[in-house]
Amino acid sequence: MLNAAVIGLGWWGQTVVEILHDSAKLRPIKAMTRSAGGTAYARQHGLQVSGEYTEILGDPDIDAVILCTPHTTHFEQIVLAAVAKKHVFCEKPLTLTRREAARAVEACNENGVVLGVGHERRFDAPIIEMHRRLDSGELGVPLQIEANFHQDKFLDLPSTNWRLSSDEAPAGPMTATGIHMLDLAVSFLGPAERAMANVVRHDGLLANGDTLGMLITFKCGANALISAILATPYDGRFALYGSKGWAEMRDLSHPDAPTGSSLTICGKNGERSSMQYPAVSAVRANLEAFADAARGGAPYPTPQSEMIATIAALEAVVKSARTGQVEAVEG
């Protein structure tokens, strides 16, 4: 059992606590929060409370921290935890720049701690099966990815919420939903080469932009067309097109409350087959894979090179949305 402290008890921090309430691998025993609501929630769930990050890092009973904090704080919090010899699970995005991502990975490696990141879509069963089909050669050479992640959960947030800040969430929906599809694209296609993105704000909706479209070109020669919208009911789709066939995953409901998903495969002969998958918490699977790695079990399955590659692509998308130009991906 890995004892953890949840840093930040907002919407997602509370979600993590509830997902892990009966985990046999990772147990939240402490939380950092400075709000009355967060403190009351922590006590209700039997968690010790601290308002200071340094106090948590100095606690010998804490093996790991789970960062559910604003994006601009991730880099410093990861490095401080690594130096304190605490394993780190960080919600997405890992950081907002490639330089910080690389340094965060380096700090964890230098101090012998495991770094996990909240890209749980990698743990969805249809995505794992899609990887298997591509790796076996069944789909041929990857040509293009088309993906979207849309939701309207943020429409009721107050305008002062950090998730709507241009500093914390540049390029509108990118860090909320688009980053998940971008990370999946990196997992299939490798490092990106250049990005073109456009973000739009519709009247009366989110001030930081509610609709994002992007074209990412990868070093392997394939493209990814990704859409992220924060002003329409949920829809989630990830499709990979190869030279011998294609595969498409669709969610039946928002991953926050999963009810299952489907995977359709089309072979070279044009015949299609579909599979249905039951609801499983990919968030929990990711967190428990992190706990296994921290306890010396199987290595954490997301390669660190891909953690950095995702943030490098993110940085280029954000820059392109700002400049209106095609932007090169660093590294």
Q: 24-45: per-residue pLDDT in tens? A: 999 999 999 999 999 999 999 9
d(CA 17, CA 158): 24
Q: Please state, in angstroms and rounded to a whole number, the distance separating the CA atoms of residues 275 and 38.
A: 41
Cβ pair 92, 118 in contact under 8 A? yes
- What's the pLDDT at 263? 98
B/e letters for 198-223, b = 16+ CB within 10 Å, e = fewer, are: ebeeeeebbebbbbbbbbbbbeeebb
pLDDT at 331: 87
Contacts of 193 (CB under 8 A, 6+ apart): 217, 218, 219, 328, 329
Exposure string of 30-51, with b = 16+ CB inside 10 Å and e = fewer, is bbbbeeeebbebbeeeebbbbe
Q: What is the pLDDT of residue 205?
A: 79
Query: Is residue 26 helix, strand or coil?
Result: strand
Question: How many Å apart are CA 179 and CA 319, to the nearest integer?
Answer: 14
pLDDT band at 207 (very low <50, low <70, confident <90, very high): confident
Q: What is the mean pLDDT of the chain?
A: 96
Strands 211-218, 87-90: parallel, antiparallel or unpaired by DSSP? unpaired
What is the mean pLDDT of the segment spanning 141-163? 93
Q: How far is CA 151 from CA 162, 231, 255, 314, 328, in A?
A: 18, 6, 11, 20, 29
pLDDT score of 203 more than 80: no
Q: What strands, in cross-sheet order, belong to the sheet with 48-50? A: 48-50, 26-32, 2-7, 64-67, 87-90, 115-117
- What is the mean predicted confidence (pLDDT) over 10-29? 96
At 323 the three-state DSSP class reads: helix
> Residue 238 pLDDT more than 90?
yes
Predicted confidence at residue 18, as pLDDT, reads 96
Task: Tell me the C-alpha distance between 171 and 318, whole Å.
Answer: 5
User: What is the average per-residue pLDDT within 248-271?
Assistant: 93
Give the whole-number percent of the chain exceeding pLDDT 70: 100
State in Å, rounded, how far the first CA of the chain is from the last one.
Answer: 38
The residues that bridge with 236 in the sheet, in sequence order, are 149
Single-letter code of the amino acid located at 55: E
What would the pLDDT profile of 278-325 be if each residue is shown by its tens digit?
999 999 999 999 999 999 999 999 999 999 999 999 999 999 999 999
Q: Using alpha carbons only, what angle is made at residue 166 by residues 124 and 11, rounded to the nearest 5 degrees? A: 45
Q: CA 209, CA 307: separation in Å to the nearest integer?
A: 25
Mean pLDDT of 196-204: 90
204: pLDDT strictly greater than 80: no
pLDDT band at 160 (very low <50, low <70, confident <90, very high): confident
Out of 103-112, 208-217, 255-264, least confident range = 255-264
Domains of the chain: 2-120 (3.40.50.720), 123-328 (3.30.360.10)
Provide the pLDDT confidence category of residue 138 given band limits of 50, 70 and 90.
Answer: very high
**DSSP-derived secondary structure letter, 99:** H
